[in-house]
Structure 1
Amino acid sequence: MIRSEVIIGVKNVPQSREWYKSLLGCKATHGGETFEILTDKDDNTTILCLHKWGVHEHSTLISPDVKKGNGLILYFRVDDLMQIWDNARNLYAVIEEVPHLNPNSGRQEFSLRDLDGYYVEIAQEAKQDGKK
């Protein structure tokens, strides 16, 4: 088994935790001011970790002053795209792209920025019967 557990640097872990919980309906399992683990509410799979800038001396998480996010897309597949879209609008999120059909993937998706400026892509999970 191989799984990725993405960790991003954030200015304020509690604020980012609440933002992602409100957007995705996920849950927090670690707690604290400097690190958080966000998991799927149904199966507890880790979906994203939040790490406060400048703590624990990780070389790539030293400073928020370096342009972050270049070459990175936080891509989430979800069961209910329109619920997440409503959540994003309720958060007054910075929207990069409104919901649309991506002709390459055949999925409905939209894009926004999180509190720290990371590019977040939300895509509708393919239906169980193989239809998009």
Structure 2
Amino acid sequence: MQAQPLIAVSDVEASSRWYQTVLGARSAHGGKDYEQLMFGERLILQLHRWEAHGHAHMGDPEKRPYGNGVLLWFHTEDFDEAVERAASISAVVLDGPRENTNASHREIWLRDPDGYVVVIAGPYGDTGM
């Protein structure tokens, strides 16, 4: 089994560009209503426009914060490059980059264009700051 998170966003194409840059991902679908983002051959995130297709359980775009209590957490082997990519687009940094001694890795906490919290974590044992 593998998680394939889907988040509702206001602008699929803009969010796709943000996630592609920050995560080093690529588009596998593209479009104004729906996107699939891939890392290698693995689907890592789906983006869906709030108003598209009338899904009953998508949530309410008027109620914020989006994803209250949910973090989009990504593990990467290229943590330093991910931090550089986030900086290259002036991503909003909530915390870090810093060492998380409890998890024995480095991490950076970001806010995406729709307000979701995105965490990028380096590999276990990568504590070199």
| TM, length-normalised to structure 1 | 0.89
Partner of 1:58: 55
CA distance in 2, matches of 1:35, 1:75: 21
What do the CA deviations read for 1:95-117 (whole angstroms, capped 9, x no partner)? Answer: 00011111211111110100100
Q: Identity of aligned pairs, percent?
A: 34
CA distance in 2, matches of 1:50, 1:6: 9
> What code does the residue aligned with 1:60 have?
H
**Counterparts of residues 1-132 of structure 1 (less than 5 Å):** 2-40=1-39, 42=40, 44-61=41-58, 63-67=60-64, 68-126=66-124, 131-132=125-126
CA distance in 1, matches of 2:57, 2:85: 31
Helix, strand or coil at the partner of 1:115 = coil
CA distance in 2, matches of 1:60, 1:8: 12
CA distance in 1, matches of 2:77, 2:59: 35
Gaps of 5+ in 2: none
Tell me whether 8-17 or 99-108 shows the greater mean CA deviation.
99-108
| TM, length-normalised to structure 2 | 0.91
Tell me whether 89-98 or 59-68 shows the greater mean CA deviation.
59-68
CA distance in 2, matches of 1:103, 1:62: 35
1:13, 1:52 within 8 Å by CA — same for their partners in 2?
A: yes
**What is the Cα-based RMSD across aligned positions, in Å?**
1.2
- Report the count of equivalent residues: 125
1:29, 1:38 within 8 Å by CA — same for their partners in 2?
A: yes
| Structure 1 residue ranges (4+ consecutive) displaced by more than 6 angstroms after TM superposition | none
